[in-house]
Amino acid sequence: MTYPFSISVGGIVRKADEVLLVQQNYGANKGLWLLPGGFVEAGESLEEALIREVQEETGLSAVPTRIVGIRSGVRQVGDVRETGIYIVFEMEYVSGELMALDQNEISDLRFQSPSQALNDPQVIDLAKQFIQSANGSNPGLLKSSIPITTRTKYQSYDVYLP
């Protein structure tokens, strides 16, 4: 039997001493605030998907700098069990003006201090956990700057290490 899989990514986009949150406009989290991000499409790396999703949702350009956490789960979708993996990166703001480009997905967006986000009852708990992890003493997994030789022909290849 084949089981469906979904891989999604989220970003803690930092600008000055604030983090970016988006207000979702659909689904179970409609009206609540969470991290920008979305699903990885076939042929995309995690980083490519995250950069694309953040730009599509917010108008901002940002680059991933480290992995701060991973959520793994299984849920029932109709008659099928789906395995979902969600990888959250910390991201460095590069450029752009903040604007909700896809108002079908995002109804509002804002930068706010991590302490405000952690105390806001409208921010989902999972986003709070990742923000807290990124702000604590957790060094996360950092993108390796050392080239790694592989015999497999990858189009993109990134390694994260403690």
Helix (H, G, I), strand (E, B) or coil at 156: coil
- Each residue's pLDDT tens digit, 56-98: 999 999 999 999 999 989 888 888 888 999 999 999 999 999 9
Domain boundaries in the chain? 5-161
Judge if pTM exceeds 0.75. Answer: yes
The answer to whether 29 touches 65, Cβ cutoff 8 Å, is no
Return the beta strands (E) in 78-145 as ranges. Answer: 80-95, 106-112, 141-143
- Each residue's pLDDT tens digit, 1-25: 556 889 999 999 999 999 999 999 9
Q: Which of 86, 45, 90 is nearest to 64 (CA)?
A: 90
In this structure, whether the domain defined by 5-161 belongs to CATH 3.30.1330.10 is answered with no
